[in-house]
Structure 1
Amino acid sequence: MCIVLVTTAHPDYALIVLDNRDEFVLRPTSRPHWWTSHHQSILSSRDLQRAEQGTWTGITKTGNFAVLTNYRETDTHDAKHPIQGTRSRGGMVTAWLEAPNDESTEMFARRLLEAEGVQGVGGFSLLCGKLRRRRDTVDGERELEPLAIISNRCDSSEDVPWIAEKRGEVYGLSNTSYSDPNVWPKVQMGKEMVLDVVENVVEHGLGEEELISKLYDVLDTDTLPLQNGRDFEEYILELKKSIFIPSIGQTETPPIQLPADEIATANPTLTKESKEYETELKEKERPEPAAAMTGIYGTQRQTIILVDWEGNVTFRERALWDDKGNKIKRGEADMTFRFGIEGWNGESKGNDVLPIAVL
């Protein structure tokens, strides 16, 4: 039951994104790193369970940004929306991150929805767009180019909602369609809390680190009712009530030795960091596909992305579990990346990627 919260309310930032990835904690996942595909420099973590090695959130050096949430299909008679997708949802994210620089968000939405690009994919919502500053409005208001929310509930690109164009807004997305009139409690609560944080930070003149700390407090908000003996399938309905999901489920999942050559056959061009992750994966045990979908479930990763009005990005990911299923103390596995978006103001060449800071 992941959650994404987005706001344009802070005057110093064009966009602020918060994301909790809720998953079985033993699902093998890389840490964030720069990797290259289709000539795009992409910053993201990667799902190492599926051959596509997709992701749930990522951003490119040229400002293509995407974050995904999924939702479970329940109608077994709906052939257009399969219960179990044959293609990875994470591939929808990388499809945009790998897109050509001259492809607009509108063009991508059309390509994805009208050329059977979402066929065979389980229920998902993809928030995506090109991070670009628009020219100031007549009254001096600064604006960001809008972001799209693409899903397999959109019959065509004309059905795609657009957000984040105006200032002072907050948006929330979880494991249901964005157009669902029944707003989940966790989404409503998250939106209100994010606005309160921004107001407090601005009022007291707090800096970026204080802002990030308070945003992580939002992502750590646990209001999940007690399980009280209910099985997972019944209890999962309660997850819509809490932003943070503490560990639930079985505590033991036997590791299965992965054959050394069982790595995706269609890997993109690998950076030095990507090669290190691939080598690490070959050398250690991980659950087989069935095992990775059992065991402890909960909030596995937390990501905060800040984009200021100069196109400077702060990307911070917090891991809460190690690859053996042990909890990690808050902040001890944080990774922070800072870089400038190429083309932020429409120019063809931007800043170089700054060195990685691991906090």
Structure 2
Amino acid sequence: MCILLLSTAHPKYPLVLLSNRDEFLDRPTKAAGFWPEPDADVIGPMDLAREEHGTWIGVSKSGRIAILVNFREETVSDAVSPISRGALVRHFLVARDQSTSEWAQSAITKAGPGGLFSVGGFSMVCGVLRRRPTAQQGDLPASKPVDEERLEKMAVLTNRSTSLDEGTSWLFSPDECANPAVDQETESTSENDLYSTVRKHTYGISNSLYTNPWPKVYKGCDLLSSLIAEDIGNPGSKTGDKEEFISSLFDILSTDNLPRDALGSGNPALVFDALKHSIKIPVFSSTSGVLKADEDLLSPVPTDSSMTTDEPAVVVQHVNSRFETHTSDKPYEFRQGKYYGTRTQTLILVDNEGHVTYAERDLNDPLRREHSIHEFDIEGWNE
């Protein structure tokens, strides 16, 4: 139950991006860092549970960026697929000679024997970070939101729409894609023009279709828009100190408004519905494929072998894919862990000069709860 929020309205940052990864706590994961050769230009975490060692988020020094969120399936077996979702993100990040549209069209037909339907349900935002040639150059007024798109458009690709052709939308391109996370009624009646302008350029997606946002997406977009509007209205209040701004963004990702009454009901349908409302998912137990709140809710997370479970594995035979370089036929075993919640929080800031600040923290690893920061300049930012 992940979430992605992003905005292009801040005068100092053409891109402000926030991501929560919700996952079983015992799924092995490598912290974000630059990858080994030949992909040392890419930074991102790695999923170590599957042989592909894919990822859900990453950005390269050449500006390629991709973030994936799962589509909520009804059963564990539906959620596990022969082709790793994370392999798609990895493939895009290292497909250096392909444009976003070329890569998307290739993925639709070549990701596996059934094209993208060989992959479990997902939505993926991807593109190449470049300043739009028509965008205003130089420093922008710090007290005014940006009401023009400064980035080249990005794709929103999903395999859970009516058709894959309909499943490709474009962000930062109003003539091609509306912003479904905007509350039109609130925007049209708001007396706060500053907030309305920021909100119009603030996007979100979770575990439903991009065109059908969950309540947590509206909430996240509202909080992010409010923070940016507050900062613009009081220049230097947050971004004068980037570390304070980063801290405020992490606060948004840590917003916990999970409806406890619904969780305590013991009704699986209500439990799943409750997860749609909270940006951060507190750690709780999951058994027999159903997230439950009748035991261990918000209890301290064990650090020993009691975190594992005897739930049977879902075994999926790997299918060789022309799209991937991975060719192993070794089956992948998905063993559901007992404890589930928001594990990893990631921020990506891109400033007007193409300087990237990548911050990550792991809420459930005592050594990684304080965020780490990596910084670099995008090659070809102004090309």
For Structure 1 versus Structure 2, the TM-score category normalised by the shorter chain is 0.7 to 0.9
Q: How far 1:202 moved relative to its partner?
A: 2.1
Change (3 A) 1:70 1:37: farther
**2:129 corresponds to which letter in structure 1?**
L
Q: How far 1:82 moved relative to its partner?
A: 5.1
Q: Please list the CA deviations of residues 225-277 of structure 1 after superposition, one character each: whole Å capped at 9, or x if unmatched.
A: 11215266752221001001001116633499xxxxxxxxxx99xxxxxxxxx
What is aligned with 2:340?
297
What is aligned with 2:251?
217
Query: Please, which of 273, 281, 285 is the counterpart of residue 249 of structure 1?
Result: 285
Return 111-120 or 236-245, whichever deviates more: 111-120
Return 211-220 or 112-121, whichever deviates more: 112-121
Q: Are residues 1:111 and 2:106 paired?
A: yes
Uncovered stretches (5+) of structure 2, i.e. residues with no partner = 139-147, 175-196, 287-301, 311-323, 326-331
SS at match of 1:188: helix
Q: How far 1:149 moved relative to its partner?
A: 0.4
Change (3 A) 1:24 1:83: closer
TM-score, normalisation: structure 1: 0.77
Change (3 A) 1:148 1:307: same
Change (3 A) 1:214 1:157: same
8 Å contact kept, 2:214–2:276: yes
Q: Are residues 1:318 and 2:361 paired?
A: yes
**1:110 corresponds to which letter in structure 2?**
Q
**Where do 1:204-283 residues align within 5 Å?**
204=234, 205=236, 206-207=238-239, 208-226=242-260, 227-228=263-264, 230=266, 235-249=271-285, 252-254=306-308
8 Å contact kept, 2:70–2:121: yes
Q: Are residues 1:97 and 2:93 paired?
A: yes
8 Å contact kept, 1:150–1:160: yes
Query: Please, which of 117, 132, 144 is the counterpart of residue 151 of structure 2?
Result: 144
**1:164 corresponds to which letter in structure 2?**
F
Distance 1:41 1:91 in 2: 17
What is aligned with 1:283?
none
**2:259 corresponds to which letter in structure 1?**
P
Distance 2:49 2:128 in 1: 28
Q: Are residues 1:341 and 2:366 paired?
A: no
SS at match of 2:65: strand
**Where do 1:174-189 residues align within 5 Å?**
174-180=206-212, 183-189=213-219
Q: Are residues 1:162 and 2:162 paired?
A: no
What is aligned with 1:203?
233
How large is the Cα RMSD of the aligned pairs? 3.0
What is aligned with 1:129?
127
SS at match of 1:13: coil
TM-score, normalisation: structure 2: 0.72
Q: Please list the CA deviations of residues 266-290 of structure 1 after superposition, one character each: whole Å capped at 9, or x if unmatched.
A: x99xxxxxxxxxxxxxxxxxxx954
8 Å contact kept, 2:57–2:89: yes
SS at match of 2:252: helix
**2:231 corresponds to which letter in structure 1?**
V
Return 247-256 or 122-131, whichever deviates more: 247-256
What is aligned with 2:28?
28
Uncovered stretches (5+) of structure 1, i.e. residues with no partner = 257-266, 269-287, 323-327, 347-359
Q: How far 1:333 moved relative to its partner?
A: 3.3
SS at match of 1:196: helix
Distance 2:56 2:250 in 1: 18
Distance 1:39 1:302 in 2: 23
**2:54 corresponds to which letter in structure 1?**
G
Change (3 A) 1:105 1:158: farther
**2:93 corresponds to which letter in structure 1?**
L
Distance 1:238 1:332 in 2: 26
8 Å contact kept, 1:20–1:302: yes
SS at match of 1:304: strand
SS at match of 1:143: coil
8 Å contact kept, 1:197–1:211: no
Distance 2:116 2:78 in 1: 11
